[in-house]
Amino acid sequence: MPTQSNPNNKRKVLFILSVDTEEEFDWNGDFPQNTCNVENVQQIPKFQAFCESLGVRPTYLVDYPVANDIKAANILKNIAQTKNAEIGAHLHPWCNPPMEGANGERESHVVNLAPNLVRAKLQSLTSTIKRNIEVTPTVFRTGRWGTNEAVINITRGEGYDIDSSVYPYYINEDFSCENTPDKPYWPNLSSPNLAGPKCDIFELPITAGFNRSNFPFWDKVHRLLSSKFMDPLRLIGFAWKTNILRKIYLCPELSTTDDMIALTEAALTSENPVIHMYIHSSSLLPGRNEYTQNNGDEKRFYTSIADVVEHLANQNDVTFCTITEARDLLLEGFAGYTAPQID
Ligand SMILES: [Zn+2]
């Protein structure tokens, strides 16, 4: 059941923490297919206890190497049985059978694969989660973010009714979440970066934006300042250093506590009913990724999450929920919210 912090006429908000639960690897290196180490999953019971101490109800989006490792799968099975967390699916194409074709940066993004290959990989992932973790996942996140017409329809077809692959305001040469809504929405099934009519899959983006409310406006300003034309003036660096405009992701691996708090405040002022933080499970084991290299980093990582959650709960009436619980509350009209949709 969702858990609630102290009410008293404060702004009502949902808090989600999603964990990409996956193998450890060097994010600047190649894409290993068969040599996946999932030792970090041993840290999840400790992390789950920490989340429970804050009231947080995590959603673990599990990829193939984790689901296929009996020891790791058993840990997640035990957590799922407590009902204090949710298990979803996360597709890393490079280490999820069937493995076919090229294996480079471009193919590491699910959105760049042939639809038949995406379907086969998702079927393999889903059946492995069902068999080894004994849950039927209904929440999905692509590897390397983003979705498109083919992927969202395959996702629906494989029994998922929530997608959480949208990373607002993020774009690179291999995928784009440009112009997506930054609040939960019904995706247009022909063009899921846009809102569409009510359908059988709901989109719950992670929280990304700026240290100022009205993110779509500041995104335009940020894009202008970041353009090649403006580059010689170094305005984007100046805007960051002076705190005039910062682009921020709600992830303690990428952002400081102060920046994450500024982002959550701006998101709430922009009337976003959901604050959605994400992490990678490999950050839970020091020395296995670039963000948590030692015990000091690990401590800071936990403290940063706690500080953001406590700040949010002190200022607002927070309901802590899994992704599916958040969807259900939103569709019941949580805090008067209506998902943006276009008929
Ligand atoms: Zn991942």
Q: Is 182 exposed, middle or buried (0-12, 13-18, 19+ CB in 10 A)?
A: buried
Q: Does the residue 66 lie in any domain?
A: yes
Range of the domain at 153: 3-211+246-336
Q: Does the residue 178 lie in any domain?
A: yes
CA of 262 to the centre of ligand 1 (A): 26
CA of 20 to the centre of ligand 1 (A): 5
pLDDT at 6: 60
Q: Does the residue 216 lie in any domain?
A: no
Q: Is the pLDDT assigned to residue 301 strictly greater than 90? A: yes
Q: Does the residue 231 lie in any domain?
A: no
Q: Does the residue 47 lie in any domain?
A: yes
CA of 292 to the centre of ligand 1 (A): 16
CA of 238 to the centre of ligand 1 (A): 32
CA of 54 to the centre of ligand 1 (A): 25
pLDDT digits (tens, 9 = 90+) for 202-217: 999 999 999 999 999 9
The environment of the single-atom ion ligand 1, i.e. residues with CB closer than 5 A, is: 20, 22
Question: 250 to each of 7, 19, 205, 275, 305, how far by Cα in Å?
Answer: 24, 12, 11, 8, 10
The CB density around residue 110, as the number of other CB atoms within 10 Å, is 30
Q: What angle do CA 188, 193, 194 make, to 5 degrees?
A: 50
Q: Does the residue 163 lie in any domain?
A: yes
C-alpha neighbours within 13 Å on the C-beta side of residue 255: 26
CA of 271 to the centre of ligand 1 (A): 29
Contact (Cβ atoms closer than 8 angstroms) between residue 240 and residue 246 = yes
pLDDT digits (tens, 9 = 90+) for 78-101: 999 999 999 999 999 999 999 998
* Cis check: omega of the bond before 98, within 30 degrees of 0: yes
CA of 17 to the centre of ligand 1 (A): 15
Q: What angle do CA 24, 180, 25 make, to 5 degrees?
A: 5
The 3-state DSSP class for residue 274 equals: strand
pTM across the whole model: 0.95
Domain CATH number, residue 323: 3.20.20.370
Q: Does the residue 317 lie in any domain?
A: yes
CA of 145 to the centre of ligand 1 (A): 8
Q: What's the number of domains the chain is made of?
A: 1
CA of 194 to the centre of ligand 1 (A): 23
pLDDT at 338: 87
CA of 108 to the centre of ligand 1 (A): 10
Q: Is 175 exposed, middle or buried (0-12, 13-18, 19+ CB in 10 A)?
A: buried
pLDDT at 1: 78
3-state SS of 204-239? CCCCEEECCCCHHHHHHHHHHHHCCCCHHHCHHHHH
